């Protein structure tokens, strides 16, 4: 009786996917991820921020019924909430799921809404990480809009990643540059986040996002004055990073 071959591990599957699609376009990667039964069900997680419209539009064209998870931290700009409603209607997002932190958790851990003033990591964990983890249960993976150019921790970003051995993570825009995003938005006549024209090239929660001056890094307005540049919903090298990460210039970044 022949021996049954063991199913490939998640790492093996991801390595094969990255090798196969190394030179493919974002659309090809997205179609592969959303159309392959071996990948499993995926959700798109979107902040509806400055660059989010590109991936949202791509998904609406490739697979319009894809679940879209929007994390409402209840500390977002009013402009972000209005933009989310605008895009949901314009792109006909038929399965938009807005998630929030459990009220019992916020009442216990952040009753007066000032946790971000003392610990941005704890606030992000409460309002983003925990709700997202809950929302992703049952999904084989999720689609992100992360790109290599956004920070040092993303410089080697691949199309497919292993998220702590639990699920697949897909980054179709990993190899895109700012000029690619701009060209796509213009060519497809997509609406921009209203805060972009006011000096916000990267947009998160209102208390932790500030305008960026000319010549500054586009993400300089995120958690300004701290060494943090990740919200915590992303894993690095397959694990949640709660401590500092050494960079080439000895700067530190927290990702939890």
Domain range summary for the chain, segments of one domain joined by +? 10-198
Tokens of 76: 């977002």
Q: How high does pLDDT run on average in the chain?
A: 84
CB of 148 closer than 8 Å to CB of 180: no
> Length of the chain in residues, anyone?
256
CB of 237 closer than 8 Å to CB of 245: no
- Which region among 68-77, 101-110, 161-170 has the lowest average model confidence (pLDDT)? 161-170
Average pLDDT over residues 161-167: 86
CB of 102 closer than 8 Å to CB of 127: no
Q: Which parts of the chain fold into alpha helices (H)? A: 10-20, 26-35, 52-62, 78-90, 103-109, 115-118, 120-124, 130-135, 178-187
Q: What is the DSSP letter of 191?
A: P
- Report, at the CATH architecture level, how domain 10-198 is classified: 3-Layer(aba) Sandwich (3.40)
Tokens of 255: 């990702």
The pLDDT value recorded for residue 21 is 83
Query: Does residue 250 register a pLDDT over 80?
Result: no
pLDDT digits (tens, 9 = 90+) for 127-157: 999 999 999 999 999 999 988 876 555 567 8
CA distance 93 to 72: 17
Confidence of residue 248 (pLDDT cuts 50, 70, 90): very low
- What pTM was estimated for this model as a whole? 0.82
Q: List, by residue number, the catalytic residues.
A: 231
CB of 56 closer than 8 Å to CB of 68: yes
Q: How far is CA 172 from CA 70, 144, 203, in A?
A: 18, 8, 20
CA distance 48 to 56: 9
- Is 71 in a helix, a strand, or coil? strand
Query: Does residue 225 register a pLDDT over 70?
Result: no
**Could you tell me which residues come within 8 angstroms of residue 165 by beta carbon, excluding any fewer than 6 positions away?**
10, 238
Beta strands 160-163 and 167-170: pairing type?
antiparallel
Average pLDDT over residues 59-67: 94
Tokens of 247: 């960079």
Q: Which of 7, 34, 5, 33 is nearest to 20 (CA)?
A: 33
């Amino acid at each position: 009786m022949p021996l049954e071959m063991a199913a490939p591990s998640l790492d093996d599957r991801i390595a094969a996917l990255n090798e196969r699609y190394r030179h493919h376009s974002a659309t090809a990667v997205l179609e592969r991820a959303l159309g392959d039964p071996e990948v499993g069900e995926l959700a798109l997680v979107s902040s509806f921020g400055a660059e989010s419209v590109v991936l949202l539009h791509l998904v609406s064209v490739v697979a319009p019924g894809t679940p879209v998870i929007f994390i409402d931290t209840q500390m977002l700009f009013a402009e972000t909430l209005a933009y989310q409603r605008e895009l949901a209607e314009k792109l006909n997002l038929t399965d938009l799921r807005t998630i929030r932190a459990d009220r019992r958790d916020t009442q216990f851990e952040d009753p007066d809404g000032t946790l971000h003033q003392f610990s941005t990591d704890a606030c992000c964990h409460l309002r983003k990480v925990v709700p997202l983890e809950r929302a992703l249960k049952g999904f084989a993976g999720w689609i992100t809009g992360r790109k290599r150019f956004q920070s040092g921790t993303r410089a080697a970003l691949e199309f497919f990643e292993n998220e702590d051995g639990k699920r697949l993570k897909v980054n179709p825009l990993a190899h895109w540059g700012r000029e690619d995003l701009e060209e796509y938005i213009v060519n497809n006549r997509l609406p921009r986040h209203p805060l972009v024209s006011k000096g916000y090239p990267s947009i998160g929660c209102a208390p932790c996002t500030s305008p960026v001056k000319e010549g500054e890094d586009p993400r300089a307005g995120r958690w300004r004055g701290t060494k943090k540049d990740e919200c915590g919903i992303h894993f690095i090298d397959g694990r949640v990073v709660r401590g500092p990460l050494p960079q080439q210039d000895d700067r530190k970044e927290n990702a939890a």
